[in-house]
């Protein structure tokens, strides 16, 4: 699928680390112009330089997805630099580990604002622009196996990802007639900045040993699904919650 996305413009949130960084480079390598969004501007500039050094086109956009008032200006900045957005990757996310009885109100709100409220408003504004343009588009939400499965100690996270799953289906249904495909990738556990400390602990090692293949996934395990959903080859795929978890949820 090399250069399959030539002429397309993508907007990737949470691009300063982990999966977001991986997705941004992947889409750029496939030929898309990429707007990378996140809070840590220094990391955005580093990634932008890397993408451009590899021959890609990139715009860095400072964005905290919990700040709804920044969404329209952020998309305006991206489109001024790259043209209309064809692909939105709603990747920004966080978790809050612990028992529900110990979860503070602000902890719950932080998870919901980052994992659900921000992605919803981004999808809504991007959808409005895609509808006005009249050429369809792709919205790819990053959910989790927690969309379907209880992950102990991550109740707020699972609630937010289950909501992302239903949001995906609702938007896919509402925007189908406009040629906008909305899907969600539901990954299993991949070691990132959010969970590396846990997986180095005895409890984390025990959890890994409980998986059918007794290992974590790698970031690149999501590459094929991301490229498929971002490309025209996924024209008949919409409203799907696609699990890529190496059997971890079995």
Strand order in the sheet with 180-187: 58-62, 33-38, 9-12, 87-90, 137-142, 180-187, 241-244
pLDDT at 219 over 80: yes
pTM of the shown model: 0.96
Instruction: Give residue-wise pLDDT tens across range 78-95.
Output: 999 999 999 999 999 998
> Domain holding 79: CATH number?
3.40.50.720
Residue 230 lies in a domain: yes
Active site residue 157: yes
Residue 164 lies in a domain: yes
* Segments forming the whole domain that contains residue 96: 9-243
Residue 3 lies in a domain: no
Please list, residue by residue across 29-56, b when 16 or more beta carbons sit within 10 angstroms of its beta carbon and e when fewer do.
bbbbbbbbbbeeeebbeebbeebeeeeb
Among candidate residues 157, 175, 189, 211, the one labeled active-site is: 157
Residue 4 lies in a domain: no
Residue 131 lies in a domain: yes
In total, how many domains does the chain have?
1
Residue 248 lies in a domain: no
Q: End-to-end alpha-carbon separation of the chain, Å? A: 30
CA distances from 124 to 56, 111, 165, 169 (A): 27, 19, 15, 14
Residue 250 lies in a domain: no
Instruction: Give residue-wise pLDDT tens across range 122-174.
Output: 999 999 999 999 999 999 999 999 999 999 999 999 999 999 999 999 999 99
């Amino acid at each position: 699928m090399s250069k399959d996305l030539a002429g397309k413009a993508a907007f990737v949130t949470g691009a300063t680390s982990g999966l977001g960084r991986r997705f941004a480079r992947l889409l750029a390598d496939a030929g898309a112009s990429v707007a990378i969004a996140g809070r840590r501007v220094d990391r955005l500039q580093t990634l932008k330089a890397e993408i451009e050094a590899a021959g890609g086109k990139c715009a860095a956009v400072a964005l905290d997805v919990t700040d709804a008032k920044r969404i329209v200006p952020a998309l305006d900045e991206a489109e001024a630099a790259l043209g209309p957005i064809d692909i939105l990757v709603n990747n920004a996310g966080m978790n809050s580990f612990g028992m529900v009885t110990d979860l503070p109100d602000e902890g719950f709100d932080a998870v919901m604002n980052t994992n659900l409220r921000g992605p919803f408003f981004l999808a809504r504004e991007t959808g409005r622009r895609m509808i006005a343009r009249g050429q369809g588009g792709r919205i790819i939400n990053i959910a989790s196996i927690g969309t379907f499965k209880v992950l102990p100690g991550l109740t707020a996270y699972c609630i937010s990802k289950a909501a992302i799953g239903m949001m995906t289906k609702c938007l896919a249904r509402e925007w189908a007639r406009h040629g906008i495909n909305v899907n969600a990738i539901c990954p299993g556990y991949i070691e990132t900045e959010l969970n590396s400390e846990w997986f180095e602990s005895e409890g984390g090692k025990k959890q890994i040993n409980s998986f059918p293949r007794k290992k974590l996934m790698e970031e690149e395990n999501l590459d094929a699904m991301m490229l498929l959903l971002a490309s025209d080859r996924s024209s008949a795929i919409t409203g799907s919650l696609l699990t890529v978890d190496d059997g971890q949820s079995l």
